[in-house]
Structure 1
Amino acid sequence: MKTRISVRTRMAAALCATALAATACASSDDGDKDSSGARTSPQDLYKDGLVNPEKDPGEPVDGGTLRMAEYSEAVVLDPTKTYPTGSTGLNVMASIYDTLMRYNPETKGYDPQLAESLASDDNITWTLTLRDGVKFTDGTALDADAVVASIQRFITNRGLHGQILGANLKSMVATDKSTVTFTFNGAWARFPSLLAAGPGLILAPAAYADPASFKPIGAGPFVLESQAPGEKTVVKANEDYFGGRPHLDKIEFLQLGPDQTKLESLEAGEVDAVYVSSEKVVKDLVAKGYAGNMSAVSGVPTINFNHREGTATADVRVRQAVELAFDANTFLERTTGSDVLADRGLMGATSIWKTGVEPVETDPAAAKKLVEEAKADGFDGKLHYVGLSDATSKSGAVAIKAMLDAVGFDVQLDLVSAVGDVVKKVYVDGDFDLARGSNSIPDSDPYAALDTAMDSTSGANPGRYASPEMDGLLAELRAADGPEEGGATLAKIEELWKKDAVYLNVGFGGFLEAWNDNVHGITPTTQTAVLFDDAWLSK
């Protein structure tokens, strides 16, 4: 049990860090005009794929060091310990390990990357075929046994979506040196998404042979050269990469601070590429013609409810009253200065998965009535809110307290300085009624994020919400290969999510990786990340 808690805590810490990052998706701005005066609506901005793509970059040139200002730092390059998303380390980890598959935002499908192919006739049994002759940078073969061992380690150590993979996996077998066969308990149409993300980061056996001394050994286009915590991580070209030596000599993944600082550094030529989410900075970059990759996400930020027995929010009337009292526009105005990205629906306004289910409307009178009903049954009106104590988070907490106190609640603010303290209170101790969070649900695969947040067996389900009906609907969604097949199921999920008041969505947003016009060949993939195997710098 001690080991399980430690793994859950580590994963929860990463989730909380991402939540704090994602809340910057809305930023002070007028919501209508960019710096050039042109209108730039969320519908224009927040769509997956390349923005301002160049038409003819010319022939690739070898050499040079690409300097990228990252969103946050991957201090540990073990994908079971660092949350493998673009905003929290997947960019650098994918450069070292590569991924078996890659998400293609143009086709909305998945292309082979490190793998040769991935195929299924029924979406239950999937056959992964590996490329011949691929080796890890320590000289050992990247074969089926290595793939099975790496993925099994990811599942055992509960890497991001590892629990979902393990729970649905009937068998994973190396049928020969170049073939792995996955068999699931039911259809899983978007299974390739996992092999484009954390589970698809294949580690050499020597990387984790000594649990006390992890070594970042992969088969990606780059190898680790150096790390300076809080400053930069440097990778250099893998001379023996299966796809040929990359064009770049090196990549420096830098830590520069706020998005505005990154924008200024990009404009000054001090960096070649940046990773940002601030609405204002995103709009400025797009309006100024910078090329880049946009990854849209829903559910940023959220307010999590504790469903555990004995808590005030175990009563659905209390949760519904909070939903009715909450005003997303006011909250975002207070915390970011702009309400343009407010959206109470399960999926954001620009999502291809938007269901049309009407979101909860703010209704203080209805909220007050529910609070009075709960008090008549013994509820004392007190709610325990957990959040961070920085200025922005405190502004949000104060706004929530004002909204809820106005309808009869008595909100007690518990604001702490460290993310780790939030993790312990929410994920380990369950010591909260309300807590700020984020889901960052991508259009490429909403199932995985929704299952992580709401499945009754998920270790990253912050409120321990449990519903057999929801579990069944999530299983139905797993079988869907896009909104055409899964839209009706997602609508049922949203109706139940709304009725049960599982958690409260505040808005939507996106992450943008943007680069100067001397940068070419960066390839978008899943989890708000990009790949650099074909990247190059013009002289």
Structure 2
Amino acid sequence: MSPHLRRLRLGSLALVGALAVSGCTSSAEEEGSSDNTSGGQPKSEIYTTGMVGVADGDTEPVEGGTLTVAEYSEIRTLDPTKSYANGAAGGSAMGAIYDTLVRYDHESQTFEPQLAESLTTDDNIVWTLALRDGVEFADGTPLDAQSVVDSMKYYTDNFAYQALTLMANLKSSKVVDDRTVEFTLQREWATFPNMLAGGPGMILAPAAYDDVFDFEPIGAGPFELETYAEGEELVLSARQDYWGEGPYLDELRFVWLGGDDAKLESLTSGGVDTAFMRGPGPVEQAIDEEFAGMMFATGLGTQIWINSREGRPGEDPRVRRAVALAIDPEVYLQRVTDGAGVPTKEIFPDASPWSTGVPPLETDPDAARALLEEAKADGFDGTVRYLHGADGPGTAGGVAVKAMLEDVGFTVENEALRSVSDQIQRLYIDHDYDLAVAALSIPDEDPYSRLIGALQSSSRQNTSGFSNFEMDALLADLQAAATPEEGIGTMTKIERLWHEKVPGVGLAAGGTFQAWNDNVHGMEPTSETMFLYDRAWVD
């Protein structure tokens, strides 16, 4: 593995955000504005979805070798129904074993066949999936239409990631013949292919799950499990009988190094070949040091949920609005990331094709105080509980939020949660909180699937308890939109209603950056910040 070598800037990089920088600006006078990084570059050009500094061109792939990937978090099981099929939680490792029926092409902004030969529809209600001929699972059994239907049923029966959204919209799955499946939906769903590019589209061999007590990771992907050492590494070996062009690698190795700073250090020294990072500071530093990679920009990368259920302070719309008026995203990021990142209350940042231009609630402490006094006059005592992570950024954010809210008259009781499982329990199962920091991370390729889970009145993923018939109708309209051009009018209404009713308060846009060294080629990003490694190679 070769260490990172500094790259010459390419003129095309400005189009995909491959521009400098790390750290925070020391002052607006010295660096231009808080909209720029410490290197003086506009953050809007960095936090834009797309490849950064990648120029593989017509280079001929080299066979052999091992690609070492520093993942964001350790995957403890390769059963897609028990792990989250996204890039932050081991989704790429599962994709390497199972492959996906389709993939998302970020350059063309279209869903393309992968395991499937085609996916077609005339009305966005009935979708016909045709499978490639001759594809086999790693155990030699054929990948046919029945195995697709059965695997997806296993996925939804176990309420896996995205399963609730799929179940609410899928009317039937029908085996037409050995290579054809017909999906009939309840209503128009233009981005239905995103389901097949994610966890539901990771098709398992029947033998993988026929014993409920002994799951076996058997798929049709380019790699299969070789070894797993908890807390150390997951090693996958190449399948020689994979249906596609690759794999070129002999092995794919996943490691977990802790924080993003450690990952960037290992990437720089050549300890790993590629690293998945989410922290704004390390992300901006990696781009400043001109690493090639893929930027996944998302809306509401950090936000505060306000619990509006009966008996909670947020049941009162005046309290919700007072919280929004009291919070200053720039102050929050200054405390948490030393100013790195894109502070915004908007659902999508300006660089997103889904950015609506709807003005958010400006920070106005005086207006917040007035609303809070009205609520107190009607019996509210001003006390709210704020949940946050127990790590450094979570604690720093808790201090910042507490200070801003108490400045306008709230009494804030901070509570640090030490594990992700604790956060899931409190926010999504017990709904036991008043305010809580979270990351909705809405991707440009399919905002509907995120927003329907978070904001639809009857959704089991709706942690805030927000219930609004107008929002439900708008989300149904958004479901039929295939592109930002088709859906921007609806998104504008959604954002306007978000700022009016305040189910939550935006703090920052999101930016996940997977960076790699000069010896890495053929990296193929897909949906949910995941990568497909069938054509990856190293020199």
Same fold (TM over 0.5): yes
- 2:443 aligns with 442
Report the alpha carbon displacement of residue 58 of structure 1 after superposing the two structures with TM. 2.0
Q: CA RMSD in A?
A: 1.8
Q: How many residues align?
A: 511
Report the alpha carbon displacement of residue 223 of structure 1 after superposing the two structures with TM. 0.3
AA in 2 matched with 1:155: T
- 1:8 aligns with none
Give distance in 1, aligned partners of 2:408 and 2:323: 9
- 2:12 aligns with none
Instruction: Identify the range of structure 1 (171-180 vs 239-248) with the bigger mean alpha-carbon deviation.
Output: 239-248
- In the alignment, does 2:360 pair up with 1:359? yes
- Relative to structure 1, is the Cα distance of residues 29 and 186 closer, same or farther in structure 2, using a 3 angstrom cutoff? same
3-state SS, counterpart of residue 66 of structure 1: strand
- Relative to structure 1, is the Cα distance of residues 391 and 511 closer, same or farther in structure 2, using a 3 angstrom cutoff? closer
Report the alpha carbon displacement of residue 460 of structure 1 after superposing the two structures with TM. 1.7
Give distance in 2, aligned partners of 1:207 and 1:456: 36
Give unpaired runs (5+ residues) of structure 2: 1-20
Report the alpha carbon displacement of residue 50 of structure 1 after superposing the two structures with TM. 1.3
Give distance in 2, aligned partners of 1:324 and 1:388: 23
AA in 2 matched with 1:85: N
Give distance in 1, aligned partners of 2:443 and 2:187: 22
Give distance in 1, aligned partners of 2:96 and 2:210: 21
Give distance in 1, aligned partners of 2:488 and 2:88: 28
Report the alpha carbon displacement of residue 432 of structure 1 after superposing the two structures with TM. 1.1
- 1:19 aligns with none
Give distance in 2, aligned partners of 1:334 and 1:137: 50
- In the alignment, does 2:450 pair up with 1:455? no
Deviations 1:130-150 (A, max 9, x none): 011111111111111111111
Contact 2:280–2:341 (CA under 8 A) maintained in structure 1 = no
3-state SS, counterpart of residue 68 of structure 2: strand
3-state SS, counterpart of residue 488 of structure 1: helix
Instruction: Identify the range of structure 1 (419-428 vs 513-522) with the bigger mean alpha-carbon deviation.
Output: 419-428
Instruction: Identify the range of structure 1 (406-415 vs 165-174) with the bigger mean alpha-carbon deviation.
Output: 406-415
Pairing 1:417-432 to 2, within 5 Å after superposition? 417-432=418-433
3-state SS, counterpart of residue 300 of structure 1: strand
- Relative to structure 1, is the Cα distance of residues 27 and 213 closer, same or farther in structure 2, using a 3 angstrom cutoff? farther
- 1:119 aligns with 120
- 1:483 aligns with 484
Deviations 1:135-193 (A, max 9, x none): 11111111111111111222222222211111011111111111111111111111111
Contact 1:221–1:238 (CA under 8 A) maintained in structure 2 = yes
Give distance in 2, aligned partners of 1:234 and 1:191: 32
Contact 1:169–1:185 (CA under 8 A) maintained in structure 2 = yes
Report the alpha carbon displacement of residue 340 of structure 1 after superposing the two structures with TM. 4.7
Give distance in 2, aligned partners of 1:326 and 1:287: 30
Contact 2:284–2:340 (CA under 8 A) maintained in structure 1 = no
Give distance in 2, aligned partners of 1:331 and 1:38: 21
Report the alpha carbon displacement of residue 92 of structure 1 after superposing the two structures with TM. 0.4
Out of 10, 24, 28, the residue aligned to residue 29 of structure 1 is 24
Give distance in 2, aligned partners of 1:418 and 1:89: 17
Contact 2:387–2:415 (CA under 8 A) maintained in structure 1 = yes
Q: Percent identity?
A: 47
Report the alpha carbon displacement of residue 451 of structure 1 after superposing the two structures with TM. 1.0
Instruction: Identify the range of structure 1 (277-286 vs 395-404) with the bigger mean alpha-carbon deviation.
Output: 277-286
Give distance in 2, aligned partners of 1:247 and 1:291: 20
3-state SS, counterpart of residue 274 of structure 1: strand
Instruction: Identify the range of structure 1 (43-52 vs 125-134) with the bigger mean alpha-carbon deviation.
Output: 43-52
Give distance in 2, aligned partners of 1:179 and 1:202: 14
Q: Normalising by structure 1, what TM-score?
A: 0.91
- 1:231 aligns with 232
Give distance in 2, aligned partners of 1:105 and 1:245: 21
3-state SS, counterpart of residue 388 of structure 2: strand
Deviations 1:316-362 (A, max 9, x none): 11111100111111111111111551010011222110001001100
Contact 1:349–1:508 (CA under 8 A) maintained in structure 2 = no
Report the alpha carbon displacement of residue 427 of structure 1 after superposing the two structures with TM. 2.1
Give distance in 2, aligned partners of 1:400 and 1:28: 22
3-state SS, counterpart of residue 412 of structure 2: strand
Deviations 1:416-445 (A, max 9, x none): 323333322222222211011110111111
- In the alignment, does 2:507 pair up with 1:506? yes
- 1:130 aligns with 131
Contact 1:79–1:93 (CA under 8 A) maintained in structure 2 = yes
Report the alpha carbon displacement of residue 55 of structure 1 after superposing the two structures with TM. 4.5
Report the alpha carbon displacement of residue 201 of structure 1 after superposing the two structures with TM. 0.8
Report the alpha carbon displacement of residue 125 of structure 1 after superposing the two structures with TM. 0.8
Report the alpha carbon displacement of residue 244 of structure 1 after superposing the two structures with TM. 4.3
- 1:59 aligns with 60
Give distance in 2, aligned partners of 1:397 and 1:279: 18
Give unpaired runs (5+ residues) of structure 1: 1-25
Pairing 1:342-353 to 2, within 5 Å after superposition? 342-353=343-354
Report the alpha carbon displacement of residue 39 of structure 1 after superposing the two structures with TM. 3.8
3-state SS, counterpart of residue 297 of structure 2: strand
Deviations 1:6-31 (A, max 9, x none): xxxxxxxxxxxxxxxxxxxx984339
- In the alignment, does 2:400 pair up with 1:399? yes
Give distance in 2, aligned partners of 1:373 and 1:286: 47
Give distance in 1, aligned partners of 2:475 and 2:187: 12
Instruction: Identify the range of structure 1 (406-415 vs 477-486) with the bigger mean alpha-carbon deviation.
Output: 406-415
Contact 2:56–2:521 (CA under 8 A) maintained in structure 1 = no
Give distance in 2, aligned partners of 1:359 and 1:155: 37
Contact 2:341–2:509 (CA under 8 A) maintained in structure 1 = no
AA in 2 matched with 1:422: Q
3-state SS, counterpart of residue 145 of structure 1: helix
Give distance in 1, aligned partners of 2:364 and 2:247: 57
Contact 1:326–1:403 (CA under 8 A) maintained in structure 2 = yes
- 2:8 aligns with none
- 2:284 aligns with 283
Give distance in 2, aligned partners of 1:154 and 1:55: 36
Deviations 1:91-141 (A, max 9, x none): 101000001111111111111011100011111111010011111111111
- 1:197 aligns with 198
3-state SS, counterpart of residue 75 of structure 2: coil
Pairing 1:48-447 to 2, within 5 Å after superposition? 48-56=49-57, 58-338=59-339, 340-447=341-448
Q: Normalising by structure 2, what TM-score?
A: 0.91
- 1:535 aligns with 536
Deviations 1:375-414 (A, max 9, x none): 1111111112122233321221122111111212111222
AA in 2 matched with 1:233: L
3-state SS, counterpart of residue 507 of structure 1: strand
- Relative to structure 1, is the Cα distance of residues 511 and 118 closer, same or farther in structure 2, using a 3 angstrom cutoff? same
Give distance in 2, aligned partners of 1:290 and 1:387: 32
Contact 1:320–1:367 (CA under 8 A) maintained in structure 2 = yes
AA in 2 matched with 1:29: C
Give distance in 2, aligned partners of 1:86 and 1:28: 25
Contact 2:118–2:130 (CA under 8 A) maintained in structure 1 = yes
Contact 1:329–1:339 (CA under 8 A) maintained in structure 2 = no
Give distance in 2, aligned partners of 1:286 and 1:362: 31
Report the alpha carbon displacement of residue 374 of structure 1 after superposing the two structures with TM. 0.9
Instruction: Identify the range of structure 1 (396-405 vs 315-324) with the bigger mean alpha-carbon deviation.
Output: 396-405
Give distance in 1, aligned partners of 2:265 and 2:410: 44
3-state SS, counterpart of residue 152 of structure 1: helix
Give distance in 2, aligned partners of 1:245 and 1:490: 40
Contact 1:57–1:520 (CA under 8 A) maintained in structure 2 = no
Contact 1:197–1:527 (CA under 8 A) maintained in structure 2 = yes
